[in-house]
Every structure is written in structure tokens, then in C-alpha cells.
Structure 1
Amino acid sequence: MKRPRFNTLFWRLFVLMWVTLILSHFTAFVLSIPLTTGGGSPVERMSGANLATLPSLPPGNPLTARSDAGPPAAPTAPMGPRPDGMAPAGPRPDGPPPTGRPGDVAGAPPALPAQTLWFDYALRALLIGLGALLGARWLAAPMQRLSRAAAELAQGLSQGRRPPALDEDRGTVEVRETARVFNHMTQRLQEQFDQRSLHMAALSHDLRTPLTRLRLRIERLPEAVAQAAIADIREMDEMIDASLAVMREQSNGAEPRVVDLGAMLQSLVDDLCEQGQAVELAEPPAARVRVHPASLRRILGNLVGNALRYGQRARLSLEPAAAGVAVHVDDDGPGIPPEQLERVFQPWVRLPGEQRPSGSGLGLAIARDLAQREGGTLALGNRPTGGLRATLVLPAA
């Protein structure tokens, strides 16, 4: 469908201002007539000889006009010569006709009373303000739609939902062009996210083949060495399964489910304790959150793994928070310098200085990204008694 070439923001604003200006002048002129003319019906007042013209501003100064001035007096006809030869008492024939009010200029419209002037100015200001309000809402509507779509885009990409699309056939030329650019951008972002997830899923899937070969070869090793190697391979399998589960949830657009957070924490702690890890859980209160289970397990696994790797011990606790439910993971490590607490959430970041176990520097970055996708927050802080505390806050169900 071909759109009118004059359907632009410029022409809309141009027409709007003209209509507002004309309406303000016409309305102020019509409503001011009963205050500037004498008695009689409205038709007689609007058709009378003393009807004022339509000026851009009402005649007179509202700061100096008299508030009790009535209608302008009719001009007095020039007086002829008196029979006794004396000079006439009236004005001279060649002089300017009086208007009945001091300060009036010959040939100019009669000045209005003060109350009429203030009424006229107030009415014009009210109508122009109303026109500006309606015009601002009208012209800002496309920007509001774009703002809402951008907010939905950010939230949708972080939570694995399809991005919104703007109507490309609605609005002015500029608005339609902006909608086309925005839709193209969202499509490219979605493709990049899908490609990234696909590559990670393919990598995780392809790792299973060499791991299977390793498991077969390990059987030829001594029993003690073989058992340790098999345990490592099993851990790698579990990590691959967790990664694939998270990607499956995000790509399928699965809705979050209500999860018993205390039960999940207890299950995680029991599994780690069976493996000989120093993990403790304080008696958790009843708490339910609405999340993707695989993503939550990945977040908790990364936090507990970091606590064990750098602090040798992990203590978990659960408590209500203002924004939902808070999970604390404490360790006995050296902590992190305060100026580095936010930097460690960046990918590939390793703190300089102390000797630390090997790692890629992705665990905390992945944990925070998943926490934000679930509508939560993740923060780090040094405990007064020593060690580091990771706090995960999730919205309650």
C-alpha cells in the first residue's frame, strides 16, 4: 500500500500548529464579543457596527487598562459654527475623532477592559497548551512503542524469548523506517544468539565421543588410577549434560517452573558430600521460586564450585529478601579486593597475584548471566570474619 508523501512528522506538526493557532484566535474572538459590545441578542452583537476585528492579540494593555471601563462611547459629531459667531464648543472638524477612552490611538481598535484582556490571554494560553499536550502525545506515541519494544527485546533475549517486532506499515515515513531498522536489528541479534547456542551445543555434544574413547582406554590402567580418571570423566559428562539442558531450555522457550529451593539446595549438598566435599547447608526455610531448573542448578553449581576451589569449604544458607529469596554461599578463602568484586564477573578475567587453581574465568560470568535471565541478581562481598560471600537473589514464586 502506497503511503502519502506528506505523511511525515514535519507536515503533521505544521498542520497541528496552524489548526491550534486558528482555533485559539477564533475561539477567543467569539467568546470575547459579549464582553466588548453592548446589549442585545448574540446575533445583534456579532453583526453590529462596533464589532471588533480579529487581531493576532487583543487590543489594549492588561497591566494598564481600566477594569471598570464600559463599552466605547459613540463619537460626537463635529459641531458647526455658532450663530453668535463664537467658536464651536465641540472638536474641530479636522481633528481626530475621540474614542471615549484615554490613550486610544486614532484609527486603532478600541482597547478592551482589563478583565476582558486577561480572559482573552488566558483562553489563548489554555487552548495552545491543550494543543501542545495533544500534539506531544501524538508525536511521542511512536517513540513510546519503540521504547517498549526495546525493553522487551532486552528482557526477551536475556530470558530466551523471541524478540518483538514493530509494525512497519504504521506511522509516518520516519517511524516506518525506524521500525524496519529495529526489526532487522532484532532479527540479527536473535540469529547471533541462536548461532552461539548452536555452536556451544555442538561442542558439548562432540565432546562425548573422545570421552567415551577415554573411558575404554582407562580400563587398561591400574585400578586406583582408573577409578580417579573415571570420576573425572563422569564429572565432565555431568557438566556437558547441564550445559545442554540449559541451552535446551533457552532455545525451546520453556516457561519457568515453581521450584522448591530448599529441596534443590539439600539435594546439591547431599551429592557433594557423597563425593567427600566440605559442603554444609543451614536449615533452610520453606521457599519457592519460579525459575528454569537446569539454569538454577548451573548457577548453584558454579558458585559452590568456586567456593570449594578457592576457599576449601562451602556453607550454604537461605533467607527471605526484599526482592524475593536470597541464597548465600560462603567460603573460607582469602576473599577478593573490593575494587575487583565487579571485575571478576567479566569473562576470561583472572585475578593477578596469588596462586590460584586453574580455571577459565567463565564460571562467575556464566552464573550472573543465567541469574539475570531468571530475573534475579548475583553479587559478591567480603565477609567481616574472612572469606567471600556470593549472594544470589531470586524472585519468589
Structure 2
Amino acid sequence: MLSPFRRALHAPSSILRHLVAICLVALFAVSFVGKVVAAPSGSGALPVAVVAVKSDFALDQAEALTQALRKAVRDSDGWSLGETTQSLEFLVVKMKCPEPIDAACEARIADVIKADRYLWCVIQFTDKSEQTVSGTLNFFVRGKGTNQVPIEYSANLSDPTDDALIQVATKAVADATGGTPKGALTLSTGGVAGQLFVDDKPMGALPAEGGTFQLSTGRHHIVVKSPGYADAETSVVVQPATTIEASLTMVEAEDSAPLDLRMIFGISAVVVGAGAGAVGLWQALEVNSVRDDGTWLRVQEKVPTNKDVCEVAASGDPIDGVAASDYGTITSMCDKASTAEILQAVMFPLAAVSVGVGAYLLGTSSLVGGDGDDADDDDVQAWTVQPLIGPRVQAVTVTYTF
């Protein structure tokens, strides 16, 4: 028993010619029965026609693949299904296309089906076991040529609603078309070069004369950055296979004042000096409070003038008129006064140096007429400090110029 594949090979040539003629008449009739129409998948979607898949023997698979391809186009972002029900088999015969189909024939088919973009495909059984079908999906775009993608899948996938077949068709359409169609943005900035950012992502350098950039369809946030200018931004909506134009005005940024380190350190030094002086003054008041204390004054009157009150209290030597309990009080006062005197010795010089340095830095900063760290050598500073050192004189002269 011969398989249909082998019986066809052994059939008389006259029978084959009659079968081909009948098929062509049927295909011609079907091609004018109606049109396949699909709503666009989105605003500005580009139409793509799908010509019925051609096959000599894998007829069920070709019909199922045709419907799966049309569904894949219909469901794709940025594409819509074009209007055609014509088959590649009929068109090849009508156009007298060579095998394989060449570019000239593709262009004539596009004229017949009135499409600028269309998909066509030829499949066949991979071998005589008829377990696998393979072929090539072709995406023709008028003026740009054809992109080809190989297809191979199980011959069992002959149901157009089979998810596995739909996945094969969807992947093939995405690979052939390149995915969602892109548009273009022509951007100008009035002769200012910069860096282009689209949706917060860097897109590269923007020349002074402007440039054109390929972008995915949809809304995009555009920002141009350039040294010395404020950022310029806008929003655009890119349509498939369409070039839109946008122009940005670059505004020069105001020069920000340079950081004046003299002023910063001068203010800091004055603040530190003031704080140190306050601590020193507080400690001086603490010493005075000890000297004015009633217990201290009473004990001081009883202690001989050639002796130190603190030393007498520390030694515990008895003194007429001084109670033993006063010794502990006096010792505590002496410790307090000693600590205060040490802090005075540190804080008052620190305050003097800090305030002096701070005054010098502020006097030579931009705060009072100087130019701070950016002063030129020829500029006259508001304050001038000149040390004088000699055999008999050590002094510092401070001059203010106005």
C-alpha cells in the first residue's frame, strides 16, 4: 500500500495537471470570497498582510500555520492584520514567479494585494516520515527588502488553535518583523551640543546640528544636558515608522558663586574662639566665686600671710579659730579653683588665636570686599597682616584698605 505521498509521485502526469488546474480555480474563487480584516492593535499600528502559506503536500499544516500567523500579527504590539485572503500558491502562478521567489516577484505580489508589508511562507515535510515540517517565513517591506526566518516544528501541530503552534507562529513573526515597530525622533537644540537622555537612560551624544534617533513607539520623556546650560526637557509620542520633530531651547545656567573657603573657615574660627572665650570667662567667674565665699574669707583671715590657704587645708594643721569641718570645704574649693584656672589658661589663648585667625580670614574673604580663594595676585585685599620681627621689636601690624 503506497502512502498518499508516494501515490502522488506515481500518478499519471495528465491527472496531476487536472488536479492542479482544479486547485487553481478553487484558490482563485476563494481569493475573492472575502477579506481578512483585523482591528489595529493600537493607535498608529502598521498593517501587515499574511498571504496563505504555500505547501505541496503539508496542506493541513499550511492552512493551520496561516491562521496562526494571522493571529500572531493581530496580537502583536504596533502591528495590525492587513486585508488579504489570497494564497501564495495562486499568486506565484498568476505572477509567473520563479522558484525560489525573487525580489521582483515579491514586489509584484505587494502590488496585487495592495500591501506595503506582508508575510509569506513555504513549508514542506522535512523527510518522508512526515513527522516534521520546515520552511522559511519571509517578511517583505516595500523599499527595504525581505527578512527571512527559518521555521521547523512537529507535523502534529495542524490545529490553528493549538497553543504550541501559536507559540511557533508568534516567535516567528517577532523574529521576522523585529518586534514592535520603531519610529524616529529628530531633535534640535539651537546649535548647542549635549547628551541625550530618553526615559532617564543615556542615548549618546547630540551634535550641535541636532540628530535623529530610533525610538520605540509610545510616549517618551526627553532630556538634553549640556555643560553651562540648564537641562532642557520635553515629552514626545513616537508613532510606528514615523519621524517626529522636536526642538529644545537651551538656556545658559547662571554662574554660581564659587565656594569661599576663607569665609567658611573664618566664620568657623570666630565661632570656636567665641566658644573658648565663653568657657574661659565662665571659669574665671568660678574662681571669683571661690574667693568671695564666706568660708574661704573666714579661713583666709586666720591663716598667716606667709602660708597658702589650700596647702594649710590639705595638711590639716590646726589653726586657732578654724573649725575642723572647714578644712574639707576649703579643700573642695581649692580643687574647683585649680581646675578653673587650668581651663582659663587654655581657653583664653585659644579664643584669642581663633578670633584673630577668623578675623584675618574674614577680612580677606568675599564677605568684606576680598575675593576669597579666587583672588588674583594683583587684587588688593581688604585686610593686610604684616609681622615685624627685629632685635628689639616683635609686633604685628594690621591694615584695612577701603
Q: Same fold (TM over 0.5)?
A: no
Q: In proportion to residue count, which structure has more helix?
A: 1
Q: Which has the larger radius of gyration?
A: 2
TM-score by length of 1: 0.20
